[in-house]
């Protein structure tokens, strides 16, 4: 592939009562264009990752991006949705526009405003990304679904309480160094493994420390063709991408294998002509700690049921053989649904250009892997990024 990320912007993630969808999109759009040194009038197409699903009464949010600059008027703008992978879905649509020759420069904005909703509304809105005829009455919403997955994993492979606690603690340590992260606090393994008033059980064996928070936030990237990227100050190329959609009902799959995730990784690595060992780091979709554990196995770090070894031997820690979620991941950084995939690409591009915040910068990073997931391993998006300049 020849398209490259040439600029980016990232808002803080968290509870942002003074922000709206519009203000978040406008700010990140302006900042990303400035960072890329691109004028609004030079953008050929806009793609917006936005799940919504009832979080906001404002729809047609593709049109909100034009509020950032009059120069964007009449530019094609499309909202893209694929549950929690909406951001990566928008990125992939931008790549198609560029690779097809219909665009030289594409702007991608991911956004979500979740914290205005009540707790019950959040559960209901998110549960819409499940198969409602079979899963729509699960207690606890999406946390309840992943609680069921954790229960099944424990039944098949044994208790993973300490392993999940170590994953949560790792991501919180990493999030301490991320200025955009929602939860910048080192919780420690003992807190994460122990049920307490401050860390209550949420669903199945999952405690609050196992669950990503409800978040507001936005991120934006500018993607350019090879001709434009050649003149840019920085360029991070898409060496490969893959999108794999699996059955929506969990009953039609072995839900502990995340086969869509495994297939997406396999296809992307093959297209890139590299092995997992060639990656400098990975940003993966840790909506719940059990998801990150299964993703270790799906990406090929360990056989099925043996992901605990990855954790116990420190492979995914900063300084380990393959750091995973140096940003803090969804667990600490936050998970504003539509923004997540765009955030993963923006922060990975920062890493590869040596422009990440110092405390999360992976030394001498050259190739990044990204996995963004919608639903329970239903929409699976993988990107392999490599610095050009």
Enzyme catalytic residues: 84, 335
Nearest to 53 by CA among 79, 75, 19, 16: 79
**How many CA atoms within 13 Å lie on the side-chain side of 218?**
27
How many Å from the N-terminal Cα to the C-terminal Cα in the chain? 16
d(CA 295, CA 382): 12
**How many CA atoms within 13 Å lie on the side-chain side of 211?**
22
d(CA 68, CA 49): 16
**Beta-strand (E) ranges in 119-212?**
201-203, 206-207
Query: Are the CB atoms for 275 and 269 separated by under 8 Å?
Result: yes
Burial grade of 231 (CB within 10 A; 0-12, 13-18, 19 or more): exposed
Q: What share of the chain is helix, strand, coil (3-state, %, to 5)?
A: 40, 20, 40
d(CA 95, CA 104): 10
């Amino acid at each position: 592939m020849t398209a490259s990320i040439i600029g980016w912007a990232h808002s803080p993630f968290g509870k942002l009562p003074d922000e709206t969808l519009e203000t978040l999109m406008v700010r990140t759009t302006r900042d990303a264009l400035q960072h890329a040194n691109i004028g609004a009038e030079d953008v050929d197409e806009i793609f917006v990752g936005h799940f919504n699903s009832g979080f906001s009464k404002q729809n047609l949010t593709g049109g909100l991006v034009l509020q950032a600059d009059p120069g964007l008027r009449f530019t094609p703008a499309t909202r893209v949705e694929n549950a929690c992978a909406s951001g990566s879905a928008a990125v992939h649509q931008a790549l198609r526009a560029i690779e097809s020759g219909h665009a030289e420069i594409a702007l991608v904005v991911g956004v979500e405003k979740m914290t205005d909703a009540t707790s019950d509304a959040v559960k209901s809105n998110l549960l819409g990304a499940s198969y409602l005829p079979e899963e729509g009455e699960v207690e606890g919403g999406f946390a309840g679904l992943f609680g069921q997955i954790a229960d099944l994993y424990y039944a098949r492979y044994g208790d993973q309480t300490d392993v999940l606690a170590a994953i949560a603690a790792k991501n919180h340590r990493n999030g301490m160094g991320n200025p955009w992260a929602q939860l910048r606090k080192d919780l420690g393994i003992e807190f994460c493994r122990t049920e307490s008033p401050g860390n209550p059980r949420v669903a199945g064996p999952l405690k609050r420390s196992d669950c990503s928070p409800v978040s507001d936030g936005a991120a934006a990237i500018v993607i350019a063709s090879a001709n434009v990227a050649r003149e840019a100050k920085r360029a991070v190329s898409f060496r490969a991408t893959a999108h794999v959609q699996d059955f929506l009902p969990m009953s039609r799959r072995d839900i502990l294998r995340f086969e869509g995730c495994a297939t997406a990784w396999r296809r992307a690595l093959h297209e890139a002509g590299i092995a997992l060992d060639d990656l400098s780091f990975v940003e993966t979709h840790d909506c719940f700690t059990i998801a990150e554990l299964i993703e270790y196995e799906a990406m090929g770090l360990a056989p099925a049921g043996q992901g605990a070894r990855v954790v116990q031997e420190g492979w995914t820690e900063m300084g380990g053989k393959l750091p995973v979620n140096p940003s803090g991941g969804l667990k600490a950084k936050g998970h504003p649904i539509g923004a997540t995939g765009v955030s993963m690409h923006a922060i990975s591009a920062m890493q590869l250009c040596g422009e990440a915040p110092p405390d999360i910068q992976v030394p001498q990073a050259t190739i990044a892997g990204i996995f963004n997931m919608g639903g329970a391993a239903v929409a699976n998006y993988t990107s392999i990024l490599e610095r050009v300049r």
